[in-house]
Amino acid sequence: MKGVVVIGTQWGDEGKGKVTDFLAEQADVVVRFQGGNNAGHTIVFDDRKFALHLIPSGIFRTEAINVLANGMVIDPKAMLDELEMLKQGGVTDFQLYLSDRAHVVLPQHIELDGLMEDIKPQHKKVGTTRKGIGPAYTDKFARIGIRICDLIDEAAFKDKLTDNLKYHNTILTAYGKPAIDIEAVFDEYYQYGQLLKPYVTDTSRLLNGVLEDGKKVLFEGAQGALLCIDHGTYPFVTSSSPTASSVPLNTGVSPQYITDVVGVTKAYSTRVGSGCFLTEFNNDTASKIRDAGNEYGTTTGRPRRIGWLDTVVLRHTKRVSGVTGLSVMLLDVLTGIDPLKICVAYHLDGKRIDYIPASITDLERCKPEYVTLPGWHQDITKTTKFSDLPDAAKQYLNTISELVGIPISMFSFGPDRTQTIVLDDVMNT
């Protein structure tokens, strides 16, 4: 039995899709456990590139079962579009299941996501993906959400949609937006539900069954721990918990099944959307990193903000989520950048601290303290083993591991599946 969680340790886009696809070769089941199509996970192999938003990144491994668990929010149209995209790409041989307890993202959620952003002054905008994620989770916790089991049941869907839209139309019209037509949404989304019905099951029972049989399950996080609704830089966060701690709740498996947590981290930092980002810098080096790393959002195409690696952030994620090994990504992007900086602590009102303050105004007053390391200039994209790396790259990886207090289990030096080296075979140890 093995339950390996892959999580983002920063603000998302760390390369979780690549790591999940890579590890999925050894997995029996791959599970997305939170978020929705706000995520964009890129997978590159055999000169092909796929961007997944809802479907787990194990979908290219025909042996693996792929599961969308109860903790996710599902836009049925987006899921059908993604299945069509896979079909067009020749990816048809897979096993896929969708939780009957996952919540549904409906047009009112997308409208409200946009409205809530639009009415905020610039400095308060979260910069959401406008995919309806926040309002769908809000409905879930307000107990007025619509679940997949309702979507596929004609009477339940009509009843719950009517109540839900009555409430949301009051808000939309109060803000001068047109009311959403209940019949039109029902007709369109009931059809989507029927198309998704063959995938729907009780995924908690499925997952516990395979874990009891001693199989290997890979849990794929979306977003990153600093976007966590509880442990992130609130309110500039997403509306779910992208931590390993949330896996049992969001999938319906016992915590005892979680054996390993792979924390995926970029060799530097990026953030897309608003919110405090202490190690951010805006100069030629940032542009160079943005170009070399193709740092534009997979879901929204927005340029990502660039910063030095922040080990206060990584230690925070290690604490709130549990991380047993680091997967350091995009090391190749730092080639030619010399010197390199790593943030080791913050200074708040003259005091050196090693934590992320809860208050955003306190966080904004923090000043990062850095160590400086030498860079390297050799091409590392064809590395075959750790010892091939230039000394400065080895030193950079070793320094990260020492500062965070976790071993490096993998590192990556190019987008392709093959540009990956495993130091600790987490799926088999």
The residues binding ligand IMO (CB under 6 A) are 8, 11-13, 38-41, 126-129, 131, 133-134, 222-224, 227, 238-239, 272-273, 298
Answer for which of 298, 317, 327, 419 binds Mg ion (CB under 5 A) is 298
Question: What does 53 bind: ligand GDP, Mg ion, ligand IMO, none (CB cut-off 5 to 8 Å by kind)?
Answer: none
Q: Is 51 helix (H, G, I), strand (E, B) or coil?
A: strand
Which pairing describes strands 41-45 and 65-68: parallel, antiparallel, or unpaired?
A: unpaired
* Binding window for Mg ion (CB under 5 A); candidates: 296-304, 307-315, 329-337, 363-371: 296-304
* 336, amino acid identity: G
Whether the Cβ atoms of residue 345 and residue 312 lie closer than 8 Å to each other: yes
Contact track, ligand GDP, 315-334, x by CB under 6 A: --------------xx-xx-
Q: In the structure encoding, which two tokens stand for residue 351, read together?
A: 């005091």
Question: What does 332 bind: Mg ion, ligand IMO, ligand GDP, none (CB cut-off 5 to 8 Å by kind)?
Answer: ligand GDP
Active-site annotation holds for 347:
no
Return the half-sphere exposure (C-beta side, CA atoms, 13 A cut-off) of residue 70.
19
Q: Is 372 helix (H, G, I), strand (E, B) or coil?
A: strand
Tell me if 40 contacts Mg ion by CB under 5 A: yes
Active-site annotation holds for 13:
yes
Tell me if 21 contacts Mg ion by CB under 5 A: no
CB of 105 to ligand GDP, least distance (A): 19
The residues that bridge with 351 in the sheet, in sequence order, are: 348
Which residue's CB is nearer to ligand IMO, number 52 or number 366? 52
Question: What does 15 bind: ligand GDP, ligand IMO, Mg ion, none (CB cut-off 5 to 8 Å by kind)?
Answer: ligand GDP
Q: In the structure encoding, which two tokens stand for residue 409, read together?
A: 């289990």
**Among the options 13, 260, 310, 332, which is catalytic?**
13
Which residue's CB is nearer to ligand GDP, number 48 or number 120? 48
* 302, amino acid identity: R
Question: What does 413 bind: Mg ion, ligand IMO, ligand GDP, none (CB cut-off 5 to 8 Å by kind)?
Answer: ligand GDP
Tell me if 12 contacts ligand GDP by CB under 6 A: yes
> Rounded to whole angstroms, how far apart are CA atoms 426 and 429?
6
Question: What does 193 bind: ligand GDP, ligand IMO, Mg ion, none (CB cut-off 5 to 8 Å by kind)?
Answer: none
* CB neighbour list of residue 8: distance below 8 Å, 6 or more residues apart: 14, 16, 221, 222, 223, 224, 225, 227, 242, 264
Q: Which of 192, 209, 218, 250 is nearest to 56 (CA)?
A: 218
Question: What does 126 bind: ligand GDP, Mg ion, ligand IMO, none (CB cut-off 5 to 8 Å by kind)?
Answer: ligand IMO
CB of 86 to Mg ion, least distance (A): 17
> Rounded to whole angstroms, how far apart are CA atoms 328 and 389?
14
Which residue's CB is nearer to ligand GDP, number 4 or number 172? 4
* Binding window for ligand GDP (CB under 6 A); candidates: 5-13, 24-32, 129-137, 203-211: 5-13
CB of 215 to Mg ion, least distance (A): 28
Which residue's CB is nearer to ligand IMO, number 164 or number 238? 238
- Backbone dihedral angles phi then psi of residue 53, each to the nearest 5 degrees: -120, -40
> Rounded to whole angstroms, how far apart are CA atoms 190 and 194?
6
Binders of ligand GDP in range 32-71 (CB under 6 A)? 40-42, 44
> Rounded to whole angstroms, how far apart are CA atoms 223 and 14?
9
C-alpha distances out from residue 194 to 33, 76, 101, 154, Å? 23, 10, 16, 10
C-alpha distances out from residue 369 to 96, 346, 375, Å? 46, 6, 19
Q: Which of 151, 160, 257, 147 is nearest to 211 (CA)?
A: 257
Which residue's CB is nearer to Mg ion, number 57 or number 298? 298
**Among the options 41, 53, 168, 316, which is catalytic?**
41
Question: Any idea which residues carry the catalytic annotation?
Answer: 13, 41
**Interacting residues toward ligand GDP by CB under 6 A:** 8, 12-18, 40-42, 44, 293-294, 298, 329-330, 332-333, 412-415
